[in-house]
């Protein structure tokens, strides 16, 4: 057992009753841990532990009442020695780093150090942490997190209006409060994804010994039945209208997405050397979201399109560039696609990722199986593919209805009626 610290002001009830009411008195114990005594206006004293995290932030935890007017029981009423030992036990349980307990913010920084070395979506994850986790939970100690607090935070995320794209340094703009069933489902789905990031942070801290118990966040469950994807895809006719409505420099990027099912970033990074006209394939580099490269075969029309796209260019050049010859940036496609949807009368307007859905959905409707579609899209396994496209691949239900359901006396009307005539 560690040697007890001494402080004549706090050791006896007689000396404590001479202390100023409302003032905090501290006894340093070890590292960032101190024992605090404070006598309230009502005259009763309380013991608390003050912990200073590795980021310099302070947090307090009440240990119990002081034995100023009643005998200590070692549980809710503590004498000086018991209070000090309880504070030491707290430090032992917290798995402190360099003698200091860890905040959520420090745990997030530790997690991101690991994430940068092992995962791809660094910028997106940092943005999620900065926007949704640190403002509310950042200064809390990992050892002080409890299930009700995390559950309230999760529920609040689901009811908060979605953030809108906002200019740098401008005040963050938000959409309206979720009102429709679909808007509420979408917000709950987003809240689940943010919860997954927080749990990843906390689990990493638990695995690396920064906190001794992970029960608090294991008890917080995601919202159920809210992650069912709403897959938006274009018909062949809508796709043609959209392509024709695009600006001249943007049209090749949209065509390439429809011919390959590639993500926007995969296409904007694509170099001429990645297009193999002899094998009829394009190579998507390992910088892809999955972290693995893949080869995507082209249809005859797709091959002819890429042959034109790379004509006159050398291997190190980008296949797709803007009108001024510069590469496409991360969000440069948003406005041109929105404008093209307006001109093509595509309602509701599609996002670039919906072109990827269109590629996969049209293949599914044509009879491609889930494993094939999964490999073409670069999914790690077929679970994600199945969530989006299984209903299109499975022809069993449709064939059963068409062949087995009776007509109920209905006879098809084969007459062609002229409009306005009886």
Work out the burial of residue 13: count CB atoms within 10 Å of its CB; fewer than 13 is exposed, 13-18 middle, 19 or more buried. middle
Whether 99 has a pLDDT exceeding 60, the answer reads: no
Measure the CA–CA gap between 356 and 296, rounded to whole angstroms: 13
Cα–Cα distance list, 156 to 147, 171, 189, 207, 271 (Å): 14, 21, 13, 28, 44
Q: Where does CATH 3.30.160.390 sit in the chain?
A: 13-93
Given a contact cutoff of 8 angstroms between Cβ atoms, the answer to whether 109 and 115 are in contact is no
Across 279-284, average pLDDT = 95
- Tens of pLDDT, residue by residue over 29-43, are 876 778 999 988 887
pLDDT value at residue 53: 62
104-218: CATH class: mainly alpha
Least reliable range by pLDDT among 19-23, 98-102, 252-256, 325-329: 98-102
For domain 236-395, which CATH number applies: 1.10.443.10, 2.30.30.100, 3.40.50.11540, 3.40.1280.10?
1.10.443.10
Average pLDDT over the chain reads 86
Is the model more confident about 117 or about 241?
241
pLDDT value at residue 91: 64
State pTM to two decimals. Answer: 0.61
CATH of domain 13-93: 3.30.160.390
pLDDT value at residue 180: 87
């Amino acid at each position: 057992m560690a040697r007890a610290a001494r402080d004549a002001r706090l050791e006896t009830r007689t000396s404590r009753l001479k202390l100023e009411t409302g003032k905090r008195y501290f006894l340093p114990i070890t590292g960032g841990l101190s024992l605090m005594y404070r006598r309230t206006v009502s005259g009763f004293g309380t013991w608390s532990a003050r912990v200073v995290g590795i980021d310099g932030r302070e947090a307090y935890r009440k240990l119990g009442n002081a034995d100023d007017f009643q005998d200590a029981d070692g549980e809710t009423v503590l004498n000086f020695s018991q209070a000090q030992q309880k504070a030491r036990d707290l430090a032992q349980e917290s798995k402190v780093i360099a003698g200091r307990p860890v905040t959520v913010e420090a745990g997030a920084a530790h997690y991101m150090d690991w994430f940068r070395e092992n995962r791809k979506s660094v910028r997106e994850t940092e943005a999620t942490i900065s926007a949704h986790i640190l403002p509310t939970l950042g200064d809390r100690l990992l050892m002080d997190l409890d299930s009700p607090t995390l559950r309230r935070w999760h529920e609040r995320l689901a009811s908060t209006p979605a953030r809108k794209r906002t200019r740098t340094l401008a005040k963050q703009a938000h959409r309206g409060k979720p009102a429709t069933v679909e808007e509420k489902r979408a917000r709950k789905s987003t809240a689940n994804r943010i919860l997954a990031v927080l749990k990843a942070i906390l689990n990493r801290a638990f695995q690396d010994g920064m906190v001794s118990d992970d029960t608090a966040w294991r008890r917080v469950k995601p919202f159920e039945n809210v992650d069912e994807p709403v897959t938006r895809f274009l018909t062949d006719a809508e796709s043609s209208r959209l392509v024709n409505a695009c600006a001249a420099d943007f049209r090749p990027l949209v065509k390439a997405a429809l011919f390959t099912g590639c993500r926007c970033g995969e296409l904007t990074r694509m170099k001429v050397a990645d297009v193999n006209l002899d094998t009829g394939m394009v190579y998507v580099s390992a910088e892809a979201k999955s972290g693995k490269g893949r080869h995507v075969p082209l249809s005859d029309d797709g091959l002819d399109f890429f042959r034109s796209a790379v004509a006159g260019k050398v291997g190190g050049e980008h296949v797709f560039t803007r009108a001024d010859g510069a590469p496409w940036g991360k969000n440069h496609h948003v406005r041109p696609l929105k404008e093209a949807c307006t001109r093509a009368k595509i309602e509701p307007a599609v996002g670039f990722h919906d072109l990827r859905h269109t590629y996969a959905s049209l293949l599914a409707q044509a009879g491609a199986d889930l494993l094939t579609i999964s490999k073409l899209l670069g999914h790690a396994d077929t679970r994600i593919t199945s969530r989006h496209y299984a209903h299109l691949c499975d022809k069993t239900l449709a064939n059963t209805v068409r062949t087995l359901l009776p007509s109920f006396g209905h006879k098809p009307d084969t007459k062609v009626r002229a409009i306005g005539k009886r």
